[in-house]
Structure 1
Amino acid sequence: MRNHVWGVLVMSVGVMSAPCHATPLSDAWHTIAAEDSRAALTLIENNHPGAAPELGDATFQARLALAKAHVAQRLPRVVDYPAYAALMSGLAADFQDGHIWSNALVGAQIIRSSGILLARQNNQWVVGAQQTDHGEPDVKGQIFLGCDGQDAESWAVPRIARFKGDPVLEAVRARAASWLLLDEGNPFLVRPKRCTFSAPGHAPESVALHWQPVLMANVRAAIGQVAQRGDAGLKVEPFSGGWWIGLDTLEDEAQKVVTLVRHNQAALREAPMVVIDLRGNGGGNSRYADIIAELLVGEPRLKAAQPHFPACSGSYWRVSPGVLAALQQNLDQAEASRDGVSINFYRPLVTDIKQALAQHRNFSPALPACARHTLAAEQNDMPQVLPPAEMQGRLVLVTDHTCFSSCLIAVDLFRRLGALHVGETTDRSSRYMEVREEVMPSQLRAVSTLQKVAVGAGDFGPYTPEIIFPGVLSNDAALKAWVAALPAP
């Protein structure tokens, strides 16, 4: 028996097999999938700004049409939970936006494993973990070359695009890597039979895959070990090269780092190097990054580094009963806690959206006609000359592929301020914002949509570092030693 670190289950194949003909149970899964996919598409179409015709987002409209077409094609084959899950995951993936997801609230407890978990290292798929059996060769650490006669790109990229997200993004590839040689029962993918791997200086090896049932909980634990993601933490402390600022979130907890930066401002400004470490940062409120930047470089340099937006720009909320209900809830909470700032933000917004619904307007405030034709601000239009920084040393920025949403806005800011960007390529987010998640009718999954658009803004990311870290970003000691030894500019 295969001795998986993620655990093998011995059971009959029939337990894992999908029914081959219609049964009351398969009919029920088909009905659940039909209702949930319809609710998900309605949620996105009625609430996402890109779905409103007056915004003129042809790319989003095409993605919405693709999602509808895929649901129509796949729905007849949904006869069990794995097919339902694949249908819903594919629906979200078609939008190629990490803010639109389909999360399982009740998931499969058992899937099948080939015994191989892939990882993404230095823009290549490699074997991150392996449990050998049936006489397979040991290929741990080797480069994945492909499966069933197809090279790695031709085989993996379409699978990622259909059910995981945009495969152009290195961040999406990194997140999808470990799932490529796992079988979640997706009937819309062909399970590979034989894959090829290579080690430097050796001939490629072809490996026949032997699939075994495993516990999903153990698989997720093993994937966590293979991914070896770094975590910057929330800290401000000296290191061998100067000072290290760990900022793993831009949620409210980031205020702790702002306070520490303010307390240590003099030492930070005099240090030979200050590192902004964003490993593990999935976003929040970019205002915290603005404050930290100003404390380090000073207000004149910060203001000069800000991007320039076209004349036709601004933030506009999509108008719908769902958006109104979400904002009304925020207002109610602000009034209950007597949060004056939030009350002053939400109260006029709720009033205007009520008026917009009565007037059959799709946006609040009313969307100007120029929004349909406004080009996005150029992220690459970096300032040529900036006022001197009020810090003496070098500013270094560390990212990994988890950097998303407001983290990307922070990356854009620090790059504009002249920071040396190192680490790993970031994710990407669009000009759409304000996520709202709803539970689907079955109560089995939750699907998200976006509610606001920043007219005049473009995508943020992906940002590729000037210097890629050659090691594993979870190794704090190695990363800090490497950063401290970076050559002088």
Structure 2
Amino acid sequence: MRAAFSVPWFLVFSIAACVPLRLSASEPDWASLTLRDVEAIHADIEANHPGPHNILDPTFNQQEAIAYQRAMAWVEKVSDYSGYFWTLRGYLASFNDDHVNISPTKKAPVLPSRWPGFLTAFDGHGQQVVVTRLDNAPVPLGAALISCDGVPAQILADRNVAAFTTTWSLESSRREVGWRLFTDMDNPFIQRPRRCFFLVDHHSQTVQLRWRRISASEMQKYEFVARQHHVESIGLRVFPDGMRWLSLSGFDGAPGSAEAQALTRAITALKQNRDIILSSSRFVLDLRGNSGGSSDWSRQIAEIIWGRKAVEAVPVTKEIDWRASPGNVDMVSKEWRQLQLSPDTSQDMKTFVSRVVSGMRKALQSGSVYWAESDESQEGKSPSRFFPLVHPTIFLVTDGSCASACLDAVDLWRALGAVQVGRETSADTLYMDERTDLLPSGLIMLRLPMKVYRGRLRGSNIPWEPVYHYDGDMRDTRTIASWIAHLPLSAEARKRP
């Protein structure tokens, strides 16, 4: 059987021979600390990332070398934590891969936040407009940004935001992070806007920006408005019109986590309501706010709704190459031991991880760079497709936060016939399944992929576009449900009473 799963990245492992530094009460030597962490990232990529040996990605090493040299040049300018953080962020953003990333530990200082009293966001036409503000902000909601300090709005966003994020070419990414243009988190490698021009009611308005501090919790409130970010509680509900709706705002695979427990309860409810769902005309799978985790969940859900035979008949990636490094073998082995004790993890997932561990160990022992995970269940068989003859129309709601295992869900469910609605998803490269390493400073966790897809049907950094695009507020569940209730049904669903 094909185990098209993404392994959860809940385990934390340190880079070999890297002991976290103890920061003294006095200000540390930030340049030296940054240098050590940049070198550790560079070494970890060489040791564990599939890219350095991937002949189908011939520019990987050159691009990594350029990014590394740029980061090394920035090291000389680092004098505080902000410079340290943005050097690392800029280094990894150059990979244009959300699975190559960093996150601060609890030991890290908090970056200060400032803003001018308003935030802009990209609309569906590439225009940056004011979407949230203080009551006394100098510009109204809906004001469109023209330029700042003589720099056109788009170029300014490219310089100050795109250089430190990934997949900027996607509409979903610009919607997700475009709000950062009018935030200041002490990035020493950009110039903060001072004087901007906006279009207000067909007239140009000049605004002298007055930057002020804002707490992280307050900024998050405005950020969520700008992104239209919404996270529903995981679970099955019934709307007044009888439409059933399964909210799946995360796919955390960590054994015992609150999210995993909520998903287990949701799957139980789905099983109990399966007959009612399949006799209805509409059913909704809501992935808003889901940024990934383990694709084991989406497969379990698919087998309940469509049946195991239908799921196994879906075309899959022909082959996956796992980087067979000592570090990766150690990571997956430790994960396998934890998964054996988890009641929330399916037996398919446990079997799959066991096979990965065994295969990677054999590849490592033989001196192979990769272990090739192939579809053993399809050997000697001709391609086939199986789908239930009668079914409701299953609508799949997505937004721009859908990445990693969430994209795996969209891949699978769309192939089974689900109709995607809402907004464009995020995207991922062919490098997947993260390992997590603590950098020598102890301030940052590094995330790197361990495997590379071969022949995946969805290409590298290609998002899913909805069949029906929703232009309204993605936080308004009731209105979205009403909109879905009026969308066309499939031929089978139209036969329902």
Same fold (TM over 0.5): yes
Matched, 1:70 2:70: yes
Q: Does 1:93 align with 2:102?
A: no
How far, CA to CA, are the matches of 2:183 and 2:104 in structure 1? 17
Q: Report deviation, 1:298.
A: 4.4
Matched with 1:174 is 175
Aligned residue pairs: how many?
Answer: 442
Is 1:203 matched up with 2:203? yes
Q: Secondary structure of the residue that 2:139 maps to in structure 1?
A: coil
Q: Equivalents in 1 of 2:235, 2:392: separation in Å? A: 19
CA distance in 2, matches of 1:144, 1:162: 20
Q: What does residue 476 of structure 2 align with?
A: 475
Q: Which residue of 1 aligns with 2:440?
A: 441
By how many angstroms is 1:118 displaced? Answer: 2.1
The amino acid of 2:209's aligned partner reads: L
- Alignment partners' CA distance in 2, 1:421 and 1:341: 27
Corresponding residue for 1:328? 333
TM-score, structure 2 as length reference = 0.79
Consecutive unaligned residues in structure 1, runs of 5 or more: 1-24, 368-382
Structure 2 counterpart of 1:428, one-letter code: A
Cα offsets for 1:209-263 (capped at 9, x unmatched)? 1222333443234323443312243222332263222222233443333222221
- Structure 2 contact 38–72 (Cα < 8 Å) conserved: no
For 1:172, the aligned partner's letter is S
Contact 1:115-1:131 at 8 Å conserved across structures: yes
Alpha-carbon spacing, 1:122–1:302, altered in 2? closer, same or farther (3 Å): same
2:460 is the alignment partner of 1:455: no
TM-score if structure 1 supplies the norm length? Answer: 0.81
Is the alpha carbon distance of 1:333 and 1:488 closer, same or farther for their aligned partners in structure 2, counting shifts above 3 Å?
A: closer
- Structure 2 residue 415 is matched with structure 1 residue 406: no
Q: Which amino acid is the alignment partner of residue 214 of structure 1?
A: I
Contact 1:146-1:196 at 8 Å conserved across structures: yes
Q: State the distance in 2 between where 1:336 and 1:227 align.
A: 38
Residue 93 of structure 1 deviates from its aligned partner by: 0.7
Matched, 1:364 2:367: no
CA distance in structure 2 between the aligned counterparts of 1:347 and 1:478, rounded to whole angstroms: 45
Q: What CA distance in whole angstroms lies between the structure 2 residues aligned with 1:61 and 1:391?
A: 50
AA paired with 1:34?
A: L
Q: Give CA-to-partner distance per residue, 1:421-441, whole Å, 9 cap, x none.
A: 211110001222221111111
What CA distance in whole angstroms lies between the structure 2 residues aligned with 1:47 and 1:485?
49
Query: Counterpart in 1 of 2:110?
Result: 108
Structure 2 counterpart SS, 1:153: helix
| Partner residue, 2:265 | 256
Q: CA deviation at 1:408?
A: 0.8
Could you say if the C-alpha distance between residues 331 and 291 of structure 1 is closer, same or farther in structure 2, counting changes exceeding 3 Å? closer
Indicate the percent of aligned positions where both proteins have the same amino acid: 29
Following the alignment from structure 1 to structure 2, what is the Cα–Cα distance between the partners of residues 40 and 237?
Answer: 45
Amino acid in the other structure paired with 1:57: D
Q: Secondary structure at the match of 2:245?
A: strand
> What's the offset of the Cα at 1:402?
0.9
Query: Which residues of 2 match residues 125-274 of structure 1 at below 5 A?
Result: 125-131=128-134, 137-199=138-200, 201-239=201-239, 240=241, 242-251=243-252, 252=260, 253-274=262-283
Please list every run of 5 or more consecutive structure 2 residues that lacks an aligned counterpart in the other structure: 1-25, 253-259, 375-382, 491-497
CA contact (8 A) 1:241 1:273 kept: no
Change (3 A) 1:93 1:268: same
Preserved contact between residue 409 and residue 460 of structure 1 (Cα < 8 Å): no
Q: Quick check: 1:132–1:138 contact (8 Å CA) kept in 2?
A: no
**Corresponding position of 2:5:** none
Instruction: Quote the offset at 1:265 in angstroms.
Output: 1.4
CA–CA separation in structure 2 for the residues paired with 1:233 and 1:271 = 23
Cα offsets for 1:163-202 (capped at 9, x unmatched): 1222112232223222211122212111112222234x42
- Does the CA-based 8 Å contact 2:167-2:427 persist in structure 1? no
* Partner SS for 1:110: coil
Maintained 8 Å contact 2:289/2:399: yes
For residues 202 and 148 of structure 2, the distance between their equivalents in structure 1, rounded to whole angstroms, comes to: 18
1:180 partner amino acid = L
Which residue identity is paired with 1:237? Answer: R
The equivalent of 2:9 in structure 1 is none
What residue is the counterpart of 2:495 in the other structure? none
Q: RMSD of the TM alignment (CA)?
A: 3.1
Which structure's residues are more often helix, by fraction? Answer: 1
Q: Distance in 2 between matches of 1:60 and 1:93?
A: 14
Give the whole-Å Cα distance in 1 for the aligned partners of 2:195 and 2:302: 51
Q: CA deviation at 1:366?
A: 9.6
